[in-house]
Copies of this chain bind each other. A is one copy, B any other.
Amino acid sequence: MPASWLNRQLMFELLKKDTATEARLGLLTTAHGVIDTPVFMPVGTQASVKALDPRELDEMGTQVILGNTYHLYIRPGLDIITAGGGLHRFMNWSKPILTDSGGFQVFSLAKIRKIKAHGVEFRSHLDGSLLFLGPKESMEIQRVLGSDIAMVFDDCPPHTATAREVRAAVERTIRWAGECSVQPRAPGQLVFGIVQGGSHQALREECAKAITALGFDGYAIGGVSVGEPEPEMLQAIEYTTPLLPANQPRYAMGLGTPAQLVELVARGVDMFDCVLPTRVARNGTAFTRKGAISLKGGGYKADFGPIEEGCPCFACQRFTRAYLRHLLNVNEILGLRMLSVHNSHLFLDVMADMRGHIAAGTFAGFRREFIANYVPSRRVLAARKGVHPVDEERGEAS
């Protein structure tokens, strides 16, 4: 077992555990700063959170962003990022960064692949060039990127995988996690293990046991947000969280809607990432605490209120629904920019609210009220599922 860069008790401090739910309040210390958990991480796949600039991310209270190893490895490539002084300096982001391992993208985006003992041979989804990514390569790339939190290279099967395929993925994930755990790290870099196992409780247990035995700095639940129905996703989370060390951070990969974030925090998850806020923004959809709305709709054409009443975000403080609808309908970039600002702000704001309520001991009531007010949107859920097989902006590391 490799030694962490500092005592694990200091790295993650569990400040409080909710009495009525599994929700937890914590502090995660990284090389680029301390993160209040539960936390939402905006996704910056290609070294940019889509449509947003670092000042906007700062202003909305972003604590940590996610970068994608697979995408950055292909473009701009490690030589450029190395010459630029690592990912933080390259993109001018001084707060923490979590990088995924590229495993998910290799299995979902790459054109042809050959799974070998120590990784995957595949062709770039861009130019077809032959590449190889395995535990060793992934950790080396993440070391060069200099992320604060690196993820192990895993095998994340789709929701349609057979039990036999999921078992093979679990075995591979465990073997590769062992290989990842002994690779060199960037100074102060944390490494998180990933638990696979799909919807199979026994496989989740087997995987969690083996992965936690390797002693990582935190643990992710992978193999969710891969096309499964919501109840199955929640079930997989419920199978897995009790198997993870209580005093270490837990990260549910690729999730979710605002209501799902609340439900997952209630189940003891501390960290989240999702492309939804920026992706649906580019489609003209705005999130509110009552659900998602499509601002392109004619019903908003003379609606001179803000996207969401009382919202302190840059967009809601300046622009009306009618104006934003106009911008969206004439394809002005400012429209999708402002929806990206509002949506990302809302996700971060809901997390801040949850932290406040866990601290105050009022989380259960907040959860009840939030879920009662929030109307899930089928369209939004479809947008999230749609990302799985081919979309470039998939932010998960699994």
| Chain A residues with a Cβ under 8 A of chain B | 46-48, 50-55, 71, 75-76, 79-80, 83-85, 90-92, 301-302, 304, 314, 318-320, 322-323, 325-327, 329-330, 332-338
CB atoms of B91 and A330 under 8 A apart:
no
A330 surroundings in chain B (CB, below 8 A): 46, 71, 75
CB distance from A220 to the nearest CB of B (A): 26
CB distance from A12 to the nearest CB of B (A): 32
CB atoms of B322 and A84 under 8 A apart:
yes
Choice from B90, B304, B320 contacting A323 with Cβ under 8 Å: B90
Known pairs A46-B327, A51-B337, A333-B337. 9 more at Cβ < 8 A? A46-B332, A47-B323, A48-B334, A51-B334, A53-B334, A53-B338, A75-B329, A79-B302, A80-B301
CB atoms of A320 and B50 under 8 A apart:
no
Complex A-B: 17 CB contacts under 8 Å: A46-B326, A46-B330, A46-B332, A47-B326, A47-B327, A47-B332, A48-B327, A48-B333, A76-B322, A76-B325, A79-B302, A80-B302, A80-B322, A85-B304, A90-B323, A92-B319, A333-B337
CB distance from A37 to the nearest CB of B (A): 27
A51 surroundings in chain B (CB, below 8 A): 333-334, 337
Q: Which 9 A-B pairs have the closest CB atoms?
A: A76-B326, A48-B332, A51-B333, A48-B334, A46-B330, A83-B302, A92-B318, A75-B330, A46-B332
CB atoms of A50 and B329 under 8 A apart:
no
A320, closest chain B residue (CB): B84
A332 surroundings in chain B (CB, below 8 A): 46-48, 50
Given contacts A318-B54, A334-B51, A337-B333, contact A92 B323 (CB under 8 A): yes
A75 surroundings in chain B (CB, below 8 A): 326, 329-330
Give Cα distance in the complex from A304 to B91, angstroms: 11
A49, closest chain B residue (CB): B334
Give Cα distance in the complex from A55 to B304, angstroms: 20
A318 surroundings in chain B (CB, below 8 A): 53-54, 92
A338 surroundings in chain B (CB, below 8 A): 53
A327 surroundings in chain B (CB, below 8 A): 46-48
Give Cα distance in the complex from A66 to B131, angstroms: 50
Give Cα distance in the complex from A338 to B51, angstroms: 11
A315, closest chain B residue (CB): B53
CB distance from A312 to the nearest CB of B (A): 15
A329, closest chain B residue (CB): B75
A92, closest chain B residue (CB): B318
CB distance from A372 to the nearest CB of B (A): 34
A335 surroundings in chain B (CB, below 8 A): 48
A278, closest chain B residue (CB): B333
CB distance from A147 to the nearest CB of B (A): 17
A76, closest chain B residue (CB): B326
Give Cα distance in the complex from A79 to B301, angstroms: 10
Give Cα distance in the complex from A334 to B333, angstroms: 11
Give Cα distance in the complex from A304 to B376, angstroms: 45
CB distance from A105 to the nearest CB of B (A): 14
CB atoms of A80 and B46 under 8 A apart:
no
